[in-house]
């Protein structure tokens, strides 16, 4: 799983216009919603509900772009397209697992970032 990349807060910095409160809210939202989205995608796989899977992956693209994880934006797009077009469905479980794995690795970095923001 060589796709893991570190978070890059530059886009969020730009959006926040110097507001730590905004950055804290965005990171907290990401940490809350992303695991929920991954669970929804796994449930969609188990039910072969490809359209739902594609829609959830579509929302995740934006979330990953906020924290500068471009590889995960791309992977979310691939899952979205596979789901919405019901193509390459045999690849979807592997892609979702890779996305989940990368999210878990980023979670550590994001929680550290959150602590630093809260302490400033």
Q: Which fold has domain 10-118?
A: 1.20.120
At 3 the pLDDT is: 61
Which tens digit of pLDDT belongs to each residue from 18-63? Answer: 899 999 999 999 999 999 999 999 999 999 999 999 999 999 999 9
Which tens digit of pLDDT belongs to each residue from 51-84? Answer: 999 999 999 999 999 999 999 999 999 999 999 9
The pairs formed by 14-20 with CB atoms below 8 angstroms and a separation of 24 or more are 15/66, 20/117, 20/120
pTM for this predicted structure: 0.90
Domain coordinates in residue numbering, the chain:
10-118
Count Cα neighbours of 76 within 13 Å in the Cβ-side half-sphere.
Answer: 22
Contacts for 68 with CB less than 8 Å, ≥ 6 apart? 7, 8, 9, 10, 11, 12
Using pLDDT thresholds of 50, 70 and 90, give the confidence band for residue 2: very low
At 1 the pLDDT is: 42
């Amino acid at each position: 799983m060589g796709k893991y990349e570190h978070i890059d807060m530059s886009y969020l910095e730009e959006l926040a216009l110097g507001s730590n409160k905004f950055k804290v809210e965005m990171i907290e939202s990401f940490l809350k919603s992303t695991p929920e989205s991954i669970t929804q995608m796994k449930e969609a796989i188990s039910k072969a509900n490809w359209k739902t899977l594609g829609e959830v992956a579509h929302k995740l693209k934006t979330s990953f772009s906020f924290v500068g994880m471009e590889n995960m934006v791309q992977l979310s797009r691939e899952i979205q397209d596979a789901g919405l077009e019901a193509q390459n469905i045999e690849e979807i479980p592997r892609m979702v697992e890779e996305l989940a794995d990368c999210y878990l690795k980023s979670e550590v970095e994001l929680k550290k970032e959150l602590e630093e923001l809260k302490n400033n």
